[in-house]
Amino acid sequence: MAKTTNIAVVSIPAFSHQASIVGFCKRLVHLHDHFHVTCIFPTIDAPIPATLAMLESLPSNIDYTFLPPVQKQDLPQNASSLVLVQTAVSYSMPSFRDLLRSLVSTTSFAALVADPFTNEAVEIAKGEFNLLSYIYFPISAMTMSLLLHLPKLHQQVLCEYKDHKEAIQIPGCLPLQGHDLPSDFQDRSCVDYELILQRCKRLPLADGFLVNSFYEMEKGTLEALQEHCKGSNNNNSCVYLVGPIIQTEQSSESKGSECVRWLEKQRPNSVLYVSFGSGCTLSQQQLNELAFGLELSGQNFLWVLKAPNDSADGAYVVASNDDPLKFLPNGFLERTKGHGYVVTSWAPQTQILGHTSTGGFLTHCGWNSALESIVLGVPMVAWPLFAEQGMNVVLLNEGLKVALRPKINENGVVEREEIAKVIKGVMVGEEGNEIRGRIEKLKDAAADALKEDGSSRMALYQFGTQMENVGKCLSYSLMEVTK
């Protein structure tokens, strides 16, 4: 019987990152059933309810622990969500150190796998416990390449990125305009950018990188990343594309959801699903324009509605308790009754995207949502709001050509006529058919990557085998010590 190989993983207090790394852990222990994984979660105030629900279905060889919560009142006031999350992670590091010391002293641990924004944990794991340490990127290989090269880019570009006249070239990636770089990069004097820059400088500490993407989608980027790692100071560290990793389990709540029952009554490919993820919010003005744009398009829609907020990441850490319906334009629900359905709480996204009635997805293009749309073959209206979403849209719109991107006016607003135009472009007509054909091919490539001999499965197998070998060496070392 194979000896147990123990690893720990640590994420940030954000559901999208936690869901992705837990999905990675499930796939790892399914392929290597003698692995045991301990998931470690820093926490703000209390565990995220969606995370608690997700953790109910863990297999027996994955367990988890929440670090003592950091109170939101002790974090910087009026700070961005990025600063809140990163400060909470930093405050949690003493607790993480104590937990890791306890785990290592009682069990032979092979490695730590950390979110890129918990890489302070990598310093602790390598410097104090001599553990192999890996970074798991729940984002694209394209964004990973940007983060690896940011310290060099910071020196090369002396002005604000959005004011840089030429396209910015990141190795292995499509050319980027400065305004498409992550929102936290747009003011280089702010604390958000400085925090990211500090963490990017730590990335070369890692012994390897795992990325939630797949070879057939980001082949050129992977090759550039591998070349970069060979020439860097991190000992020829490996890059493993192990995706697409998405949430696929259906809860009892999703099976009986009213919006799914509504979908059952619609024609195939006739419904546009509208959702900006768990953390993104629109301003009141933009919410109005979206409502009128949906109405003007004449297309059936299922809209997951959140209360407006002037900050695009207004629900990233703490969601509003306001009733979203009261912010809709007067008469909107009455005028769209019969061909529109508005959800004001949670919706089973993968079940909706996989439904035969769903023909398009208006999305903020968070990486989890983008991958879910690709895996389920749904064309996109790509509307980035913050973080690295602009880069994801460049890949989806310009590179893969599976999405349409609405134009923003000089005041930073997408107007109703433009919204209606891109919705109809995806849902009906020749352009929509061409996008549908391309995303069907990408859907097939994603499925192939996960087959027994697929690129992502083989990459995960190679990573697991490396951990097994480390585990054997640790066991042998312990035997020598105890002789």
Three-state helix/strand/coil letters over the chain = CCCCEEEEEECCCCHHHHHHHHHHHHHHHHHCCCEEEEEEECCECCCCHHHHHHHCCCCCCEEEEECCCECHHHCCCCCCHHHHHHHHHHHHHHHHHHHHHHHHHHCCEEEEEECHHHCHHHHHHHHHHCCEEEEEECCCHHHHHHHHHHHHHHHHCCCCHHHCCCCECCCCCCCECHHHCCHHHCCCCCHHHHHHHHHHHHHHHCCEEEECCCCCCCHHHHHHHHHHHHCCCCCCCEEEECCCCCCCCCCHHHHCCHHHHHHHCCCCCCEEEEECCCCCCCCHHHHHHHHHHHHHHCCEEEEECCCCCCCCCCCCCCCCCCCHHHHCCCCHHHHCECCEEEECCCCCHHHHHCCCCEEEEEECCCHHHHHHHHHCCCCEEECCCCCCHHHHHHHHHHHCCCEECCCCCCCCCCCHHHHHHHHHHHHCHHHHHHHHHHHHHHHHHHHHHCCCCCHHHHHHHHHHHHHHHHHHHHHHHHHHHHC
Active site residue 30: no
Among residues 33, 36, 45, 115, the one annotated as catalytic is 115
Choose, from 17, 149, 228, 364, the residue flagged as catalytic.
17
* The 358-363 sheet, strands edge to edge: 340-343, 300-304, 271-275, 358-363, 380-382, 403-404
115 is catalytic: yes
**Nearest to 339, CA basis, from 299, 303, 290:** 299
Burial of 404 (0-12, 13-18, 19+ CB in 10 A): buried
Just list the catalytic residues.
Answer: 17, 115
